[in-house]
Amino acid sequence: MMTTPEPPTQPADITAFLTAFARAAKAELTWRAYRSDLNLFARWFTRTTGDPFDARTLTRIDVRDYKQHLLAAEGKAAATVNRRLAALRAFCAWAKRQGLVTDLATDGIADVPVPKQAPRALDERAVDRVLRRSAQSGNRRDHAILMTLRHTGIRVAELCDLRVGDVTTSARTGTLTVRAGKGMKQRTVPLNADVRRALATYRDQDRHGADRAEFLFISQRTKTRLTQKAVRGLTAKYGYQAHVADGHPHAFRHSFATELLRQGVPLTAVGALLGHESLQSTARYTRPSERDLRDAVAKLALEDER
């Protein structure tokens, strides 16, 4: 059961709100965030207006000015400002239910737009380090999995659903068929020479004679269909060994898309390879990353920062 210890400066209305929130058995982390954010606002309110904080005296102008103060004076990030506004909205809604106020002081106060960036992708050197580790391990299945993620951009669930017959390879060509993609849509992804070689080695040596109806990637311990959790585990393992922080398998999908677009592949082609229903989903990868912005500004420097 959450408690509501009252700091010396905590206004009575905030204490009452937090007590009601705790009795409703809401999430404790949210309760702690509300307590911190509302007390910060109350102190700002008293300093700014000279009046003690009271739900009845709170106006829309106060909330608007506080939002501007957080952005301009304190330089808070959009996510921080929006969290504090969320706390105020919850408090004002409670005050209205209690009959303390008739109007919501937070009405018409919009959240701060959060800048959208491209999904986090591993850079080419980081990907190569992870793949090198898997190759050095001698585990042909693991290396084939990482090469498939790297060179096809398929989702983890799609990789786990692959059957032996969904992959065709020859000396000069190859394809991978996703039969149950997102929205149950089927698509075919070409396979380059690197991934064909890894898959052929795995199938010929580790899956020789397997029935074509069986799943392509199986657990080496139970000999059953590989799970998404297992895939996340092995990407994290080789990422750790390669000193790559973001070892999530989805980062390989993001890297696949980002590199194709950097090479000038049309948005429509990249979207088709990824299985996107809308080009808006693919367009996320055209947004500059933090690294892109940092590199762009660095080019203006007269001295080499390396």
Q: 3-state DSSP call for residue 111?
A: coil
197 is catalytic: no
- Alpha-carbon dihedral 194, 199, 201, 205, rounded to 10 degrees: 170
240 is catalytic: no
Listing DSSP states for 61-98 in one string gives HHHHHHHHIIIIIS---HHHHHHHHHHHHHHHHHHHHT
120 is catalytic: no
66 is catalytic: no
140 is catalytic: no
Residue 290 to residue 77: CA distance in whole angstroms: 15
Retrieve residue 84's tokens.
């504090």
* 133, 151, 155, 207: the active-site residue: 155
* 64, 76, 132, 182: the active-site residue: 182
* 67, 143, 253, 254: the active-site residue: 253
276 is catalytic: yes
The CA-CA-CA angle for residues 112, 113, 118, to 5°, reads 145
> What region does 120 belong to: left with phi over 0, alpha with psi -120 to 50, or beta?
beta
Residues annotated as catalytic (active site), given as ranges: 155, 182, 250, 253, 276, 285
